């Protein structure tokens, strides 16, 4: 399109630049592009008669532009409606003016919904303006003088700011009487470009006084009361957002409060991308009390600028790896090579030296050190809340978790690992026995319909987190019972069905709807569900089928897969075994199968597996429990064929396995074919893995499968080739543990939320939870006493005695810690990790302080600066720029020398 010279003149007028000058606005600049589609020639004629921050009446403007008064008034209102002019009514008279681009015209134009809907490039112009102007400001603005400024969350500085009330949100809300709320213009811009971060734009920013009146007149905002404004502030804080204000009205003055996120806000980008936190910071910096900090990570994932990371607290033999030296713009020439271009995808959650091994190795990255501390203090409800931020099913996991956290526990290098799972089980038991159980509060009311296919741990986890955000979640389960393998694949002596039901009851209270006996693909299709208004689908069908070995005789009567056997028993079907039972397999499921066989009538049970005793995939305690029940375990034998007479199994021939893994630790068994043994059997239960059964679920969809029949999906977002279909849990990874599936369910909920909301990216602003453990070989554990690990007492005899006249029970006889045992066990924690603050990048917003349950992180006052009127800003900036240039000149020779020495130069 040809350049409109009048609009170009207007763009320069608002920018306070002259055509033909070095700083002039050109047609390709966002200042022109944002005006071009919305400003007519007559609007430009009138707007060119407006003055910067000088309030003029329509009569005065009519004289300047030479148009009739009525026509001028009409055009002025059109200018105000699209955001080209500001207006204010005083004593019945309307006044008009132009202001700064940001915070000013850019936000107003983007906040006009019709503008962005008709001309999406308008949203990009706002983004482009920040990218064009921000580099010019790096290092050049004194602290407290940027056009936008962070204001700390008031609770984080209570008692500290009596001398500086301008740093209190309540001051601005209490001083004004008129308020509106509007969409966030930054997130509107991001959304329009398909770059949303999951923090939604709707009704996020509050206008006050004359700005609110302007928003009411032009239809940009909804009028609200002061109480409603306070409630919006509280909700924003509860959801991890921070506050910032326009900072050009003068000390202690502003006309708006923005509720910002670091991944969407274009002002916070000054710090996060361009490395210029001084431009927007408050007078505060976060400080961590390492003694109180428990490395739960809540603050780290909330910090808008990645200024917080988990590090190490426990003592080391050698100095920890140093964080890379950071150049700072106050004494360094600054350019694109110094920017963090990928700040929305490259956040780090740990320091170079790593952090608490328990958090790092837990698939769900639960704040274990944190809930141990809360349990030690008797704060069981708070401990449960912390656990449920990552794992909705602590009562279940307290009974069946593989305890990767305990395997990694630093205490295990001293004596025995902390009994983390037993403490978690105790915490969950307190809630199970409460009259009023903990039901997580609803954070949002998004309301869109989402379907979860499969009521196993991953599907239930996804439903839990979506319900927290107010989605209408329906879980479809083809079996009559909910819980998936938790209910049908794990025997009651390990996981009582009432425990599973109790955990699921919380989801019902959260509004999740369950439909059992409904097989999606058979009874109704994904297309049918789309027709019912479902916007996204999470396929979490699990690995519910037993895997067969393809052995001769495997189809004989008396041969079952272990998974089918457990399902039949758990569904209460009449199934009795007699005589000798042979179980093929050496994993945890095989142990469950063998122990269940004892309980349904087997005279004797023998397990045979490829692995040696030390290599068995089953947990050592599971093996011990099987042996205690009289189950024989014969290692290093692989099945050769099943012997059959008259169509029924009579035995199994095994061959000796001499090795299971090759030099690269890949599964590659080798046999001594000359060494065989025949084992008589009345029943054979094959428990060597699980498989997927998709049925007709995927018919008509674009979802693809891998050779092992697991779904193909993006490993980070879980999105399949069908955009509205996500897959996770065993259906994606193959058989793993419940905690792995639970963790994946949360990630699925994050992706689905982003997918169903317009303009959101599945990856931008998403925390990559790459928690890495500290180096345990470098720890100094010499000063710690050895304290025995607490053991939970079993009820009566721990185990039955199969084959010796004993009758093993389906009752879970494992006890739970007492209060005293919890106190003793939690005292054994070495408190390995703590949060580390990058003070330069910290903006002093205080969002971290609201996440901390331990009073371990607080805001400390470092500056004493207030805002400056825009008209008085230029001389301050020029003086600061001059001082910066001097600092750069002084610092440059030393930096060049250090660089040369580091590179081996002369």
Q: How far apart are CA 878 and CA 82, in angstroms?
A: 34
Q: How far apart are CA 561 and CA 569, in angstroms?
A: 13
| Phi and psi, residue 723, nearest 5° | -55, -35
Helices 368-376 and 380-388: crossing angle, nearest 10°? 170
Q: Cα separations (Å) of 62 from 46, 74, 429?
A: 8, 11, 76
| CB 4 within 8 Å of CB 42 | no
Q: How far apart are CA 380 and CA 680, in angstroms?
A: 52
Burial of 673 (0-12, 13-18, 19+ CB in 10 A): exposed
- According to DSSP, the β-strands at 725-727 and 534-539 are parallel
| CB 422 within 8 Å of CB 825 | yes
Q: Which two tokens stand for residue 322?
A: 């140093």
| Phi and psi, residue 91, nearest 5° | 50, 40
What is the pLDDT at residue 899?
A: 62
Q: Cα separations (Å) of 729 from 415, 732, 763?
A: 35, 6, 20
Other Cβ atoms within 10 Å of 842 Cβ, number:
27
Per residue in 352-403, pLDDT tens? 999 999 999 999 999 999 999 999 999 999 999 999 999 999 999 999 999 9
Tokens 């910096």 label which residue?
285
User: Of the given ranges (182-196, 204-218, 430-444, 550-564), which has the lowest mean pLDDT?
Assistant: 430-444
Tokens 């039955």 label which residue?
800
Q: How far apart are CA 232 and CA 180, in angstroms?
A: 11
Q: How far apart are CA 769 and CA 358, in angstroms?
A: 14
Per residue in 671-728, pLDDT tens? 998 999 999 999 999 999 999 999 999 999 999 999 999 999 999 999 999 999 999 9
Torsion of CA 138, 139, 140, 141, to 10 degrees: 90
Q: How far apart are CA 755 and CA 187, in angstroms?
A: 16
Per residue in 23-59, pLDDT tens? 999 999 999 999 999 999 999 999 999 999 999 999 9
| CB 737 within 8 Å of CB 749 | no
Give just the sign of the alpha carbon dihedral 118, 124, 127, 130.
negative
Q: Which two tokens stand for residue 517?
A: 């006996």
| Residue 807 in this model has a pLDDT that exceeds 60 | no
| CB 774 within 8 Å of CB 490 | no
End-to-end CA distance of the chain: 57
Q: How far apart are CA 607 and CA 558, in angstroms?
A: 16
| Phi and psi, residue 593, nearest 5° | -65, -45
Whether cis (ω within 30° of 0) applies to the bond prior to 103 is yes
Confidence of residue 806 (pLDDT cuts 50, 70, 90): very low
Q: Which two tokens stand for residue 430?
A: 């307190």
Q: If we measure between CA atoms, which residue out of 639, 637, 633, 640 comes closest to residue 610?
A: 637
**If you average pLDDT over every residue of the chain, what do you get?**
93
Confidence of residue 896 (pLDDT cuts 50, 70, 90): low
Q: How far apart are CA 243 and CA 255, in angstroms?
A: 13
Per residue in 590-610, pLDDT tens? 999 999 999 999 999 999 999
What would the DSSP string read from start to end of 659-710?
EEE-TTS-EEEEEEEEEEEEEE-SEEEE-S-EE---TTTTTTS---B-TTSP
| Residue 146 in this model has a pLDDT that exceeds 70 | yes
Q: Cα separations (Å) of 267 from 129, 133, 260, 261?
A: 11, 11, 9, 10
3-state secondary structure of 625: helix
Q: What is the 3-state secondary structure (H, E, C) of 300-364?
A: HHHCCCCCEEEEECCCECCCCCCCCCCCCCCCCCCCHHHCCCCCCCCCCCECCCCECHHHHHCCC
Confidence of residue 561 (pLDDT cuts 50, 70, 90): very high
| CB 880 within 8 Å of CB 138 | no
| Residue 164 in this model has a pLDDT that exceeds 70 | no
Q: How far apart are CA 692 and CA 700, in angstroms?
A: 18
Confidence of residue 902 (pLDDT cuts 50, 70, 90): low
Per residue in 300-359, pLDDT tens? 999 999 999 999 999 999 988 887 788 899 999 999 999 999 999 999 999 999 999 999
What is the pLDDT at residue 898?
A: 64
| Residue 668 in this model has a pLDDT that exceeds 90 | no
Other Cβ atoms within 10 Å of 532 Cβ, number:
10
| Phi and psi, residue 540, nearest 5° | -135, 60
Q: Cα separations (Å) of 435 from 426, 504, 721?
A: 16, 16, 46
| CB 184 within 8 Å of CB 268 | no
Per residue in 522-538, pLDDT tens? 999 999 999 999 999 99
Tokens 């055509």 label which residue?
19
| Residue 799 in this model has a pLDDT that exceeds 60 | no
What percent of the chain is predicted at pLDDT more than 90?
88
| Residue 897 in this model has a pLDDT that exceeds 70 | no
Confidence of residue 798 (pLDDT cuts 50, 70, 90): very low
| CB 271 within 8 Å of CB 843 | yes
Per residue in 866-893, pLDDT tens? 889 988 999 999 999 999 999 999 887 7
604 strand-pairing partners: 580
Angle (CA) 43-48-51 rounded to 5° is 125
Confidence of residue 660 (pLDDT cuts 50, 70, 90): confident
Q: Which two tokens stand for residue 303?
A: 């910090």
Tokens 């308008």 label which residue?
122
| Residue 542 in this model has a pLDDT that exceeds 80 | yes
* Polymer length of the chain: 906
How many CA atoms are closer than 13 Å to the CA of 640, on its beta-carbon side?
19
Burial of 503 (0-12, 13-18, 19+ CB in 10 A): buried
Torsion of CA 397, 402, 403, 407, to 10 degrees: 180
Q: If we measure between CA atoms, which residue out of 537, 481, 520 comes closest to residue 694?
A: 520
Order the strands of the 648-661 sheet from edge to edge. 637-645, 648-661, 667-680
pTM of this structure: 0.93
What is the pLDDT at residue 797?
A: 42
Task: Give buried/exposed letters for 619-628 (b at 16+ CB in 10 A, else e).
Answer: beebbebbeb
Q: How far apart are CA 727 and CA 802, in angstroms?
A: 41
What is the pLDDT at residue 664?
A: 80
Longest dimension (CA), the chain: 110
H or E element at residue 732? helix 730-733
Query: Alpha carbon 678 to chain centroid distance?
Result: 53
What is the pLDDT at residue 159?
A: 65
Q: What is the 3-state secondary structure (H, E, C) of 159-188?
A: CCCCCCHHHCHHHHHHHCCCEEEECCHHHH
Q: How far apart are CA 378 and CA 816, in angstroms?
A: 16
Query: Alpha carbon 770 to chain centroid distance?
Result: 12
| Residue 805 in this model has a pLDDT that exceeds 60 | no
| CB 213 within 8 Å of CB 178 | yes
Tokens 């809930």 label which residue?
371
Q: If we measure between CA atoms, which residue out of 406, 404, 424 comes closest to residue 416?
A: 406
How many CA atoms are closer than 13 Å to the CA of 103, on its beta-carbon side?
26
Q: Which two tokens stand for residue 832?
A: 């390995």
Query: Alpha carbon 141 to chain centroid distance?
Result: 34
Average pLDDT over residues 432-457: 93
Confidence of residue 803 (pLDDT cuts 50, 70, 90): very low
Q: How far apart are CA 171 and CA 229, in angstroms?
A: 13
């Amino acid at each position: 399109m040809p350049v409109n010279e009048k609009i170009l003149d207007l763009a320069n007028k608002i920018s306070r630049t002259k055509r033909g000058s070095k700083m002039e606005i050109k047609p390709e600049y966002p200042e022109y592009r944002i005006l071009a589609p919305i400003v007519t020639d007559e609007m430009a004629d009138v707007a060119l008669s407006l003055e910067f921050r000088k309030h003029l009446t329509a009569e005065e403007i009519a004289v300047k532009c030479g148009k009739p008064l009525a026509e001028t008034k009409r055009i002025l209102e059109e200018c105000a409606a699209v955001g080209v002019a500001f207006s204010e009514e005083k004593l019945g008279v309307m006044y008009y003016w132009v202001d700064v681009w940001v915070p000013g015209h850019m936000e107003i134009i983007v906040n006009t919904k019709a503008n962005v809907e008709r001309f999406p490039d308008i949203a990009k112009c706002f983004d482009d303006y920040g990218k064009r102007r921000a580099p010019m400001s790096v290092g050049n603005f004194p602290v407290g003088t940027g056009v936008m400024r962070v204001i700390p969350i008031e609770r984080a500085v209570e008692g500290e700011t009596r001398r500086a009330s301008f740093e209190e949100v309540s001051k601005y809300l209490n001083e004004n009487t008129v308020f509106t709320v509007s969409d966030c213009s930054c997130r509107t811009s991001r959304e329009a470009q398909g770059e949303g971060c999951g923090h939604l734009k709707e009704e996020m920013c509050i206008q006050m006084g004359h700005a609110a009146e302007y928003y009411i007149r032009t239809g940009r905002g909804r009028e609200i009361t002061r109480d409603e404004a306070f409630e919006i502030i509280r909700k924003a804080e509860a959801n991890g957002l921070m506050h910032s204000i326009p900072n050009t009205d003068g000390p202690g003055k502003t006309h708006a409060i923005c509720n910002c996120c670091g991944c969407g806000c274009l002002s916070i980008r000054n710090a996060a991308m361009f490395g210029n936190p001084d431009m927007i910071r408050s007078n505060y910096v976060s400080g961590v009390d390492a003694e109180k900090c428990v490395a739960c990570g809540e603050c780290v994932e909330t910090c808008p600028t990645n200024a917080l990371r988990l590090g190490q607290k426990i003592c080391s033999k050698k100095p920890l790896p140093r964080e890379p030296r950071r150049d700072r713009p106050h004494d360094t020439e600054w350019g694109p090579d110094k920017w963090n271009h990928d700040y929305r995808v490259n956040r780090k959650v740990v320091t170079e030296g790593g952090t608490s091994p328990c958090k790092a190795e837990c698939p769900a990255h639960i704040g274990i050190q944190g809930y141990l501390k809360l349990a030690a203090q008797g704060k069981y409800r708070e401990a449960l809340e912390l656990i449920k931020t990552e794992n909705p099913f602590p009562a279940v996991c307290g009974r069946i978790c593989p305890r990767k956290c305990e395997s990694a526990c630093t205490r295990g290098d001293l004596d025995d690992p902390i009994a983390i799972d037993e403490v978690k089980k105790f915490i969950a038991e307190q809630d199970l026995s409460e009259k009023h159980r903990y039901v997580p509060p609803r954070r949002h009311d998004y309301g869109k319909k989402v379907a979860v296919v499969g009521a196993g741990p991953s599907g239930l986890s996804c439903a839990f987190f979506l319900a927290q955000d107010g989605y209408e979640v329906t879980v479809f389960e083809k079996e009559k019972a909910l819980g998936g393998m938790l209910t049908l694949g794990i025997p009651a002596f390990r996981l009582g069905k009432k425990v599973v039901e109790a955990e699921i009851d919380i989801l019902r209270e959260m509004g999740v709807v369950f439909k059992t006996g409904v097989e999606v693909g058979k009874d109704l299709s994904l297309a049918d569900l789309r027709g019912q208004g479902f916007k996204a689908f999470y396929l979490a069908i699990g690995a519910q089928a037993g895997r067969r070995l393809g052995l001769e005789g495997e189809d004989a009567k008396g041969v079952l897969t272990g998974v089918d056997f457990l399902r039949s028993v758990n569904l209460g079907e009449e199934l009795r075994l007699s005589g000798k039972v042979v179980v093929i397999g050496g994993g945890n499921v095989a142990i469950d199968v063998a122990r269940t066989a004892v309980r349904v009538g087997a005279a004797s049970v023998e397990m045979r597996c490829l692995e040696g005793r030390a290599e068995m995939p089953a947990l050592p305690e599971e093996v011990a429990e099987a042996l205690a029940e009289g189950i024989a375990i014969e290692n290093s034998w692989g099945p050769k064929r099943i012997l059959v007479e008259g169509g029924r199994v009579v035995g199994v021939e095994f061959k000796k396995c001499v090795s299971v893994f090759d030099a690269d630790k890949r599964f590659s068994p080798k046999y001594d074919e000359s060494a065989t043994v025949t084992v008589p059997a009345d029943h054979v239960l094959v428990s060597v893995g699980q498989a997927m059964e998709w049925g007709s679920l995927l018919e008509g969809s674009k979802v693809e499968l891998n050779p092992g029949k697991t779904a193909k999906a993006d490993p980070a977002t879980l999105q399949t080739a069908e955009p509205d279909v996500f897959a996770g849990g065993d259906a994606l990874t193959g058989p793993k543990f419940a905690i792995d599936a639970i963790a994946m369910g949360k990630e699925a909920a994050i992706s689905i939320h982003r997918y169903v909301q317009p303009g959101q990216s599945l990856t931008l602003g998403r925390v990559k939870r790459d928690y890495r453990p500290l180096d345990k070989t470098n720890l100094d554990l010499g000063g710690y006493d050895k304290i025995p690990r607490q053991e939970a007492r079993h009820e009566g005899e721990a185990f039955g005695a199969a084959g010796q006249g004993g009758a093993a029970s389906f009752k879970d006889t494992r006890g739970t810690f007492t209060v005293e045992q919890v106190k003793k066990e939690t005292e054994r924690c070495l408190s390995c990790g703590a949060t580390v603050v990058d003070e330069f990048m910290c903006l002093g917003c205080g969002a971290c302080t609201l996440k901390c349950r331990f009073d371990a992180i607080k805001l400390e006052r470092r500056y004493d600066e207030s805002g400056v009127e825009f008209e008085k800003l230029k001389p301050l900036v020029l003086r600061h720029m001059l001082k910066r240039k001097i600092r750069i000149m002084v610092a440059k020779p030393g930096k060049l020398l250090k660089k040369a020495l580091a590179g081996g130069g002369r």
